[in-house]
């Protein structure tokens, strides 16, 4: 059924009205109080990293510099808002988060929309050209026509954060969700996983925690082995019995809320719990297999399987270095067995900075074409 029919039309109209009301709200009123005219201000770039947990916006100056100087480009402002994955929170809430975080960043550094030269929005949930076009439409409603707009999956910004804005190699993200994404130097791209928890991102923080919750319920029902996860999770959540987990889970089944239990799983695994240990081992295999699929599909490893390529590793699951259980290290050990030429990279900047670097690179390519 199309939006023009029946109930779906009403829902569509209500959502459109909600977006219109938001655009006409107070979010950009700070621009009216600014003394900077369009001709006086310095042009800026906006880089956004939008995930299922939060959305970060970085504002950088648009000044003449070479690619090798990207890392020295100053950050004028940084702002944070909520989730901007439309698959997780819906289009209205996603758009509000995106618009709010951009307004906050520009306000903090005394800039405004007319001074923006380019925006790169890298957001989870962008899985198809229709997703890109929808979000580009949001951005076109916000910015003047001269602003260059780029929308990509959040994995692209994560890769750029480890390669100074160059799209070559593979990135593995394992935070609330997970995805592997890769590019060849001639522009071919491929991805694996990243389809959300319902479709099995089992290497993600959500996947690890959801399996732990399932293990607790199975143990309670005598369908699975007893596990330390039961007492540890109940204590963490302030619950007295496994039955209460059902109410806790469905009271707010948001992905980030579930994924927050990952440290409990790691602690239990370090303490010798076999169930928790198996969950983490399975997650390592899932993440490594995602990388393997992307690398082989793009031929990043060369015909002999030994060519060098960067593997950028990002996300709380991979960064949660523990005394004994280090998921990121175990994933690298596994990937190295497949590809001896893999070069692990832990970015020194956050993905939103990578998105700003991408905005600069995309804009420079357009200028050179012109």
Residue that is written with structure tokens 């791209």 in the block: 189
> Is 174 part of a structural domain of the chain?
no
- Quote the percentage of the chain above a pLDDT of 90: 68
- The confidence score (pLDDT) of residue 126 equals 85
Read off the pLDDT band of 264 (50, 70, 90): very high
Work out the average pLDDT over 147-176: 93
If one compares 126 and 136, the residue with the highest pLDDT of the two is 136
Q: Inform me whether the pLDDT recorded for 9 exceeds 60.
A: no
Measure CA of the first residue to CA of the last residue in the chain; give whole Å: 43
122 contacts: CB under 8 Å, gap ≥ 6: 47, 48, 49, 50, 151, 152, 153, 154, 155, 156, 157, 158, 351, 354, 355, 358
Is pTM beyond 0.85? Reply is no
Q: Are residues 339 and 223 in the same domain?
A: yes
Residue 295 lies inside a defined structural domain of this protein: yes
Q: Average of pLDDT values for 121-141?
A: 90
Mean pLDDT within 153-160: 92
- Average pLDDT of 101-130? 93
4 in any annotated domain: no
Host H or E run for residue 206: helix 205-220
Residues 231 and 158 in one domain: no
**CATH number of the CATH domain containing 239:** 3.30.420.40
10 Å CB burial of residue 320 (0-12, 13-18, 19+) is middle
Kindly report the number of other CB atoms within 10 A of residue 36's CB atom.
14
Residue 26 lies inside a defined structural domain of this protein: no
Residue 237 lies in domain? 205-345
Domain count, the chain: 2
Contact present, 153 and 142 (Cβ < 8 Å): no
Are 115 and 244 members of one domain?
A: no
Both 161 and 253 in one domain: the answer is: no
Indicate if the pLDDT at residue 15 is higher than 80. Answer: no
| Residue 320, in any domain of the structure | yes
Q: Are 362 and 187 in contact (CB under 8 A)?
A: no
Between 3 and 203, residue with greater pLDDT: 203
Question: Which region among 104-108, 284-288, 314-318, 360-364 has the lowest average model confidence (pLDDT)?
Answer: 360-364
pLDDT tens digits, residue range 58-101?
A: 999 987 666 566 677 899 999 999 989 888 888 899 999 999 99
pLDDT tens per residue, range 188-228: 999 999 888 888 788 999 999 999 999 999 999 999 999 99
For 74-97, the DSSP string reads PP-EEEEES---HHHH-HHHHHHH
Residue 35 located in a structural domain: no
Comparing C-alpha atoms, which of 145, 156, 167 is closest to residue 121? 156
Residue 3 in this model has a pLDDT that exceeds 60: no
- Same domain (yes/no): 210, 339: yes
The burial of 50, by beta-carbon neighbours within 10 Å (0-12 exposed, 13-18 middle, 19 or more buried), is given as: buried
- Is there a domain that residue 246 lies in? yes
Q: Is residue 171 part of a domain?
A: no
Whole-number percent of the chain with pLDDT over 70: 88
Average pLDDT, the chain: 88
Q: How far is CA 25 from CA 22, 96, 137, in A?
A: 5, 11, 18
355 and 341 in a single domain? The answer is: no
- Give the span between the Cα atoms of 82 and 278, in whole angstroms: 33
Distance from C-alpha of 275 to C-alpha of 278, rounded to nearest angstrom: 5
Whether residues 224 and 333 share a domain: the answer is yes
Beta strand pairing call for 189-193 and 178-183:
antiparallel
Residues 329 and 364 in one domain: no
Higher pLDDT, 12 or 366: 366
């Amino acid at each position: 059924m199309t939006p023009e029919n029946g109930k779906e039309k009403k829902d569509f109209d209500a959502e459109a009205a909600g977006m219109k009301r938001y655009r006409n709200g107070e979010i950009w009123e700070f621009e009216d109080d600014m003394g900077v005219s369009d001709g006086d201000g310095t042009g800026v770039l906006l880089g956004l990293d939008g995930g299922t947990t939060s959305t970060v916006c970085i504002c950088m100056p648009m000044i003449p510099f070479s690619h090798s100087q990207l890392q020295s480009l100053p950050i004028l402002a940084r702002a944070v808002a909520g989730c901007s994955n439309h698959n997780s929170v819906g289009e209205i809430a996603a758009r509000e988060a995106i618009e709010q975080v951009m307004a906050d960043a520009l306000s903090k550094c005394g800039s405004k929309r007319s001074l923006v030269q380019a925006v790169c929005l890298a957001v989870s949930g962008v899985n198809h050209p229709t997703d890109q076009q929808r979000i580009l439409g949001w951005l076109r409603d916000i910015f003047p026509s001269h602003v260059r707009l780029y929308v990509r999956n959040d994995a692209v910004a994560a890769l750029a954060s480890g390669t100074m804005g160059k799209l070559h190699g593979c990135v593995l993200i394992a935070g609330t969700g997970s995805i592997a994404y890769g590019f060849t130097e001639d522009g071919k791209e491929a991805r694996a996983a990243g389809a959300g928890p319902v479709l099995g991102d089992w290497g993600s923080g959500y996947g690890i925690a959801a399996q732990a919750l399932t293990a607790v319920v199975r143990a309670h029902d005598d369908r699975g082995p007893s596990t330390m996860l039961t007492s540890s999770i109940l204590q963490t959540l302030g619950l007295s019995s496994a039955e209460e987990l059902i109410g806790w889970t469905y009271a707010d089944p948001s992905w980030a809320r579930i994924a927050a239990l990952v440290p409990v799983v790691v602690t239990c695994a370090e303490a010798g719990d076999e169930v928790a240990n198996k969950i983490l081992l399975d997650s390592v295999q899932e993440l490594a297999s995602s990388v393997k699929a992307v690398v082989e599909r793009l031929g990043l490893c060369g015909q002999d399987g030994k060519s060098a390529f960067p593997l950028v590793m990002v996300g709380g699951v991979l960064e949660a270095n523990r005394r004994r259980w280090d998921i990121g290290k175990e994933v690298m050990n596994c990937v190295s067995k497949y590809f001896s030429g893999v070069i692990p990279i832990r970015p020194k900047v956050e993905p939103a900075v990578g998105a700003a670097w991408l905005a600069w690179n995309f804009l420079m390519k357009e200028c050179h074409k012109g």
